[in-house]
Structure 1
Amino acid sequence: MKKILLLSLLVSFSSVSSADNHEETIDLSGAMTTINLIAKNPSSYIAQLKSNTEVISASGTLLAGACIAVSGNEMPGEMQVFNFYPSMEAAFASYEIQLSNAEMQDFISDLDDFRELKGWETSRVIMAYEGELLDTFATRTLSIDTDNPQAYLEALAGLKEAYHANGYEDTSIDVYQPIGSGSNPSDYQAVAVAPNLARLGAMFDALYSADWAQEAFSRVAASRSAYVTDKIYQCESVYQSM
């Protein structure tokens, strides 16, 4: 059985004013790495990331961010740190840099004082985020197993189009395929993206009340087998390559 990880962030963005939006775009259609961790103090951990952007940039990342789980988390301080790369080659090369770059190793060692590391994941981008880059955002991350990947991906694309056609142009649904992600990975990771947590909630209100959303979502539900994990995150950008 193939497994699909539906990442609902992809992403929904939180507490963003118009001044926080970036009209520039970065091609995020390559690959993504994710660090899963428990932070003693999530705010302090994110501050450490933001104060070391030169070290972060050395890995070749295009965009890096941190997400705090606000629902579905198994313990307080649960977080993810994500990095986007132009290709799987670049994503894998970033691991070589982390193993060989002394400054990077010192930085990682310093971060260990702030966190309990749970593991790394690498994913290929299937449906990329194409909206504005936002400084803060929120996501629903949903891991899914499916027996019919093609039907599931087509249904997700249709659900995304339905939202955009009905006043939710500021949201997105992105999909990732885990590669090198441990002993029991999902097939895909799908991320629903919106400007803030309230907007993410509005997406679900529509899902439960609007005919157009229910019709589109019925095809998603019919093509998936089971949930694996389901979590809501509040996220923020910590580095952009431009």
Structure 2
Amino acid sequence: MKLGLTKLRLPLLQKLAVTSICCLMFAGCTTISTTEEELPLPQEIYSAKGKFKKEYIIAPGDNIEISVWRVPEVSRVVVVRPDGYISLPTVSQVQASGKSFTELEEILTKRFSERLNEPNVTAIAVKVRDNMVFVIGEVNIPRAIPLHQARTVMEAVTIAGGPKRSGLVADVSIIRLGDDGVLRAIPIQTDLEGQPSPYMAMSIAQLQPDDIIFVPETGRSEVLRFLDDFVGRPLQYVNIIGNTVLSYRIIDQNF
């Protein structure tokens, strides 16, 4: 199978590669933190080629400062309404939800250009929603969850309604983008000697802002598909989730 990935050292080779492929870890963690101890994580399985970064997506409730240079009468702080729109003088209503700040600036520049000469528009976050984590896959309610409500994988999966009967809890995984821009895959390992049970492992696996928790379906082929799609083609597949669950997109670091 050609994944277009940079292959790293594989502990326990085929077994670990199959049981852990479902997780893309976006950060360079080497341990799972607990309140009393630290449990070692297995080494990375794969790392995607290229460097990536997150691009925040505006959502209802966000406070945004809209500034039009030298036109203070239309510059102000606005709150994104529940319907996703903002209201501004001269341009009336503009959809902001689902857009990046760059995209919103482009839309507003075009709208203001109908009334103003070469407007210079900036959109800056004043107050945005809390840090979030995201649960996807074979759970009853895939959703975004405030990080302060779910500090561990177990808490996040529980708030998401728990795993479906088709969910493979032994292969629950964290997806994380590191500060170095590298997309990595590291499992919450539970099937090696000395490692805890799946539920215990999930209860001590600490989360970070923007983590994605993936619960695969029973059947190892799902694990392989997940790695191929999300690590091999993150700009396409991670952003499909971004349109429904996440508060950010993955973009190429060169842009």
**TM-score exceeds 0.5:** no
The TM-score normalised by the length of structure 1 is 0.25
Question: Structure 2 length as normaliser, TM-score?
Answer: 0.24
> Which gives a bigger RCO, structure 1 or 2 (Cα 8 Å, sep 6+)?
1
More helix by share: 1
Work out which of the two has the higher radius of gyration on C-alpha atoms and give 1 or 2.
2
Quick check: which one's strand share is greater?
1
